[in-house]
Amino acid sequence: MNHRITNILLVGVGGQGILLASEILSEAAMMAGFDVKKSEIHGMSQRGGSVVSHVRFGTKVFSPIVPEGEGDILFGFELMETVRSLPFLKHGGTVVANDLHISPPSVLIGQEPYPDGLAERIRARFSDFLLVDGQKIATDAGNVRAANTVLLGVVSKRLSIPQEMWMEALEKMVPGKAVDVNKRAFLMGQEF
């Protein structure tokens, strides 16, 4: 319940690069002088399962996991996973979601359809909702795989972390030859 703590959830599907995005965010927050904690589950989730990464920063952070109903920002890399994690978000919280559908096994084998109206379900509960075509913007920036960094750029506008910390964190965490395209993707996300 400490209001000086910023609670962020990064959610999506194993293999989407959620861990890297949450590391960049944590690194930037630490460089900005905050105490930071981050928690997620590796292991089974890496085989295409749901992934939830919790990042919390502020003057002093105790629990590494965000309690349900206390998330400030839900940062979704896939639409259905974004909806699945809505209970983490506080009333009036922000949703930044990538407009991407990845079918789970039951949908792939034709057992049930991929649910429709997901964006509407989010909007019905959270008015501060940004739906971003991360793939398109990342492609324009030079590489479709930088979609996560586009979304990070969008989210960065809502956080009190100085620009130079973001740039430094990107340089530190992103593999060498991908730094330029990721910086471009980040800046394009900030313009969204």
Partner 1 sequence: MKRTILSGNEAIARGAYEAGCLVACAYPGTPSTEILENALQYTEINSSWAPNEKVALEVAIGASFGGGRALCTMKHVGVNVAADPLFTLSYTGVRGGLLLVVADDPEMHSSQNEQDSRNYAKFAKVPMLEPSDSQECKEFTRLAFELSEQYDTPVMLRSSTRISHGKSVVELGERVTGLPQPRLEKNPAKLVMLPGNARVRHPVVEQSLIDLSKAAATLPFNRIELRDTTIGVITAGICYQYVREVLPNASTLKLGLVHPLPFDLIREFAAQVDTLYVIEELDPFIEDRVKAMGISAIGKEIISLCGELTPGRLRSAFKLPQAEAAPAETLPGRPPNMCPGCPHRGVFYTLKQLNAYITGDIGCYTLGFMPPLSAMDTCVCMGASIGMATGVTKVVSDQEKKKVVAVIGDSTFLHTGLNGLMDMVYNNSPATVIILDNSITAMTGRQDNPASGFTLMDDPTHAINLPLLCKALGVKNIRVINPLDLEETRRVIAEEMERFEPSVIITNKPCVLINRADIFQKGPVYAVDSGTCSGCRACLKIGCPAIEWVPAGDGSKKGKARIDPLLCTGCDVCRQLCTFTAIGSVK
Q: Which two three-digit tokens encode residue 152?
A: 């990070």
Could you give the 3-state DSSP secondary structure of residue 112? coil
Q: Which of 125, 127, 157, 163 binds partner 1 (CB under 8 A)?
A: 125
Q: Which amino acid is at 43?
A: G
Give yes or no for residue 3 binding partner 1 (CB under 8 A).
Answer: no
Give yes or no for residue 127 binding partner 1 (CB under 8 A).
Answer: no
Q: For residues 73, 78, 83 and 87, what is the CA-based torsion angle, rounded to 10 degrees?
A: -40
Give yes or no for residue 115 binding partner 1 (CB under 8 A).
Answer: yes
H/E run at residue 36: strand 35-40
Using the contact rule CB under 8 A, the part of the chain among 56-64, 129-137, 150-158, 176-184 near partner 1 is 56-64
Which residues lie across from 12 on neighbouring strands? 51
Q: Which of 17, 20, 32, 39 binds partner 1 (CB under 8 A)?
A: 39
Q: Which two three-digit tokens encode residue 92?
A: 């009036």
Q: Which of 59, 103, 127, 163 binds partner 1 (CB under 8 A)?
A: 103
Q: Which two three-digit tokens encode residue 9?
A: 């959830």
What's the CA gap between 135 and 144, in Å, rounded?
A: 5
Give yes or no for residue 63 binding partner 1 (CB under 8 A).
Answer: yes
Pick out residues in 163-192 that bind partner 1 (CB under 8 A): none
Q: Let me know the angle formed at the C-alpha of 182 by 181 and 187, rounded to the nearest 5 degrees.
A: 100
Which CB, 117 or 162, lies closer to partner 1? 117
Which CB, 142 or 180, lies closer to partner 1? 142
Q: Which two three-digit tokens encode residue 63?
A: 């629990």
Give yes or no for residue 87 binding partner 1 (CB under 8 A).
Answer: yes
What's the CA gap between 26 and 6, in Å, rounded?
A: 11
Give yes or no for residue 106 binding partner 1 (CB under 8 A).
Answer: yes
Binding site for partner 1 (CB under 8 A): 1-2, 13-14, 23, 26-27, 30, 35-50, 61-65, 67-70, 80-81, 83-84, 86-91, 103-110, 112-115, 121, 125
